[in-house]
Structure 1
Amino acid sequence: MEFITIKVTCSTELIDVLIAELFEAKFDSFQELDDGFEGSCEQSQFDEKQVKEIFNNYSNVSFLIKEQEKINWNEEWEKNYNPIIVGNKCIVRASFHDPQPQFEYEIIVTPKMSFGTGHHATTYQVLDYQMTIDHTEKKVLDVGTGTGILAIMAHKRGASTLAATDIDQWCIENSEENFALNEVKDVRLVLGQISEVDQSDFDIIIANINKNVLIDQIGEYAKRLVDGGQLILSGFYEDDIEDLEAESAKHGLKKIKSTTRNKWAMLVLDKLSV
């Protein structure tokens, strides 16, 4: 057996809370569902007692734990994946799809267990916004890179320096593969937390994670952003915008705009000059 999967059935309001608690329990890959979410972690990291203690604190929540055989994710993906078109200018497709050069931007991805193909409303919104802002000669950091798709778009938009982080080895390996597919070179990849990124002069920082992690890390993003730089946040619901905006203000970040899609949100902030 390779890893543990947990299927959680709960209300929408509890999804972010439970994901944050399971994240602390070493679960590092999550997928939201209509009636809750699924999470996974390496079998060697799984602590059943700790997980059960988490759920003992909540009523009206059910969960199912199962050991998962290693899956050929490329094969599974080929059965179900369709290209995504973003803003009529960008297509996100797999290598087994025919090229479509009529689009200004063509991104090729082959995800394994990594989040971020453009199908989810959060990734879609960030890609759409990236096509509206200047990346030329900019230094860009993609936090929680997943498939690497947002870093790939930054490269296609002219970024001069790229760095990307993820806490999941699957995601690091997957993003490396996708960078190669898109001829993106010289990306600094960091397996670990944002605290391990020592550079502090990024013009654009992108973090598509979840509300609780974002709130916890906003100060770290602000430290690494130049005055006048932009912080692009996603991975949360539209009802969470106010909380994220309030926390951002504590670190000298001011809202530029926000968007929503299918109740999911994106928030863009500017770092004020001190």
Structure 2
Amino acid sequence: MINYIGYTFKVSPKEPATEILIAQLGLEGFESFVENEDGVTAYIQEGDWNPIILEDIQILNSDEFEITYVEEVIEQTNWNSEWEKNFNQIQVDNLVSIRAPFHENPNLKYDIVIEPKMSFGTGHHETTHMMVQQLIDLDLTNKKVLDMGCGTGILAIFAEMKGANPIDAIDIDNWCYENSIENVERNNCQHITVFEGDAALLAGKSYDIIIANINRNILLNDMEAYMNCLNKEGVILFSGFYTEDIPIIDAEVLKYGLKLDKTIERNNWVSLKYISE
């Protein structure tokens, strides 16, 4: 079971300090953010945390803003209540809705119903939104798809709704693994297989389309594994990082001869689409 460390930051004035703070925390491994009227709460896995993790967060030393914070350990059993307090329905391009069972159905073309057991903060909203936008534009009919770092299973579920078959969804977190299975069943999906594990599971596999919505460091570490299982003329979609990370990701991907085809940016988060030639 993975616990998280939560930092609740009170920020004055709130903007643009909160946006800068989120970007700098993301570079240190914080992976989820929930904004509120006073600032933001940031979450990092306990295994990625260290006692001096905030020392390199430059904005905390700025004279332009007043930022205070409190720290706490968040047990996994608290995630569902945290999510219910903060999760809002997502609608993408008036075509896709991502909602909880207690949200009203907006009757869009695609309706994904999820009930996560993990945080669903602002950062996750941004990257999920962009990855859905990328998938909207792709023909997924009978494409073999990988959703790496599947989280709640949203992107795998949407891929099946768009005709993908078969689909592998992988996450290293046991809660994400179990939650993805539940959400796959909730959405009556028939072609998704969920696995618990990491990039080692990709050995010997091949895919037409790879979806990887994970933080920058993991993407860079596992890049070779992704590239080894991407079919010729395949597509790979990356997100989970910031605009300032684009040169680092791009330089690594170009080593494998892929071509950058589309970039989507949203509140300093980014999604990149690459094509294998």
TM-score band, normalised by shorter chain: 0.7 to 0.9
Aligned to 1:205: 210
Q: Trace 1:1-274 onto structure 2 (pairs within 5 A).
A: 3-7=3-7, 11=21, 14-19=24-29, 30-31=32-33, 37-41=42-46, 51-52=50-51, 65-69=71-75, 71=77, 73-101=79-107, 103-115=108-120, 120-272=125-277
SS at match of 1:126: helix
Distance 1:206 1:268 in 2: 9
Q: Conserved in 1, the CA contact under 8 Å of 2:202 and 2:225?
A: no
Shift of 1:226: 0.3
Distance 1:246 1:70 in 2: 36
Shift of 1:81: 3.2
Aligned to 1:25: none
Shift of 1:247: 0.9
Distance 2:123 2:155 in 1: 9
1:76/1:184 CA distance change after superposition, 3 Å: same
Amino acid at match of 1:271: S
Greater CA drift, 83-92 or 9-18: 9-18
* Percent identical: 37
1:16/1:82 CA distance change after superposition, 3 Å: closer
Greater CA drift, 261-270 or 79-88: 79-88
Amino acid at match of 2:3: F
Aligned length: 257
CA RMSD of aligned residues (A): 3.1
Distance 1:70 1:129 in 2: 31
Distance 1:31 1:105 in 2: 26
1:122/1:55 CA distance change after superposition, 3 Å: closer
Distance 2:133 2:97 in 1: 11
SS at match of 2:50: helix
Distance 1:185 1:249 in 2: 35
Q: Conserved in 1, the CA contact under 8 Å of 2:22 and 2:33?
A: no
Shift of 1:195: 1.9
Listed one character per residue, the Cα deviations across residues 147-181 of structure 1 (whole Å, up to 9, x for unaligned) are 10000110000011110111111111111111111
Distance 1:174 1:92 in 2: 15
Listed one character per residue, the Cα deviations across residues 8-40 of structure 1 (whole Å, up to 9, x for unaligned) are 879456424421xx8xxxxxx643766683213
TM-score (normalised: structure 1):
0.81
SS at match of 1:230: strand
Shift of 1:111: 1.1
TM-score (normalised: structure 2):
0.80
Distance 2:2 2:226 in 1: 33
Shift of 1:5: 1.9
Listed one character per residue, the Cα deviations across residues 49-99 of structure 1 (whole Å, up to 9, x for unaligned) are x82365677775898553335545445544443322110111111112233
Distance 2:74 2:24 in 1: 25
Listed one character per residue, the Cα deviations across residues 179-220 of structure 1 (whole Å, up to 9, x for unaligned) are 111011342222121122234320000111112221222221
